[in-house]
Chain A
Amino acid sequence: MAKRQLIELAHARSGDKGDRVNIGLIAKRPEDYPVLVREVTAERVKQHFATVCLGKVERFELPNLEAMNFLLHEALDGGGTFALKADPQGKTYSAALLRMEIDVD
Chain B
Amino acid sequence: MIRIANGQGFWGDSLEAPVEQVRRGPIDYLTLDYLAEVTMSILEKQRSRDPKAGYARDFVDLIARLLPDLRDRNVRVIANAGGVNPMGCRDALLDAARAQKIPLTVATVTGDDITDQLDKILQRGIELRNMDTGAPLESIRNQVQRANAYLGAFPVAEALKRGANVVVSGRVADAALVLAPMIHEFGWSATDWDKLSSGIVAGHVAECGAQGSGGNCQVDWETIPNLADVGYPIIEAEPDATFVMTKHAGTGGRVTVASVKEQLLYEIGDPRAYITPDVVADFTTIQLRQDGEDRVRFKGIKGHPATKFYKVSISYTAGYKALGQMAYGWPDALKKARAADQILRARLERLGLKFDAMRTEFLGAGALNRMPVPPEVELHLPEVVLRFGVRSHDRKMVERFTREIPPLALSGPPVASGLGLGRPQVEEIVAFWPALIPKSEVHAEVALWRSDS
Contact = CB atoms under 8 A, between A and B. Distances in A.
A52 B370 contact: yes
Contacts of A67: 261, 265
A26 B265 contact: yes
B432 interface: yes
Given A18-B132, A86-B367, A80 B37 contact: yes
Nearest to A66: B261
A15 B267 contact: yes
B307 interface: no
A79 to B, nearest CB: 9
Interface string A71-88: 100000110111011110
The B interface, classified by DSSP as helix, strand, loop or mixed, is: mixed
A37 interface: no
B258 A81 contact: no
A12 to B, nearest CB: 6
The DSSP consensus for interface residues of chain A is: mixed
Contacts, number: 119
A99 to B, nearest CB: 6
Given A11-B218, A11-B258, A18-B434, A84 B357 contact: yes
Given A82-B391, A84-B390, A52 B265 contact: no
Nearest to B429: A81
A90 B368 CA distance: 8
Contacts of B283: 62, 65
Interface in B274-302: 283-288
28 contacts: A15-B267, A18-B132, A22-B266, A22-B268, A24-B262, A26-B258, A49-B369, A51-B370, A52-B370, A60-B269, A62-B271, A62-B283, A64-B284, A64-B285, A64-B286, A65-B264, A80-B37, A80-B38, A81-B318, A81-B430, A84-B357, A84-B359, A85-B361, A86-B361, A92-B368, A92-B369, A93-B369, A94-B218
| 6 closest Cβ pairs, A-B complex | A24-B265, A84-B389, A15-B267, A84-B359, A96-B369, A13-B262
Interface of B: 37-38, 132, 216, 218-219, 258, 261-272, 283-288, 318, 321, 323, 357-359, 361, 363, 367-371, 387, 389-391, 429-432, 434
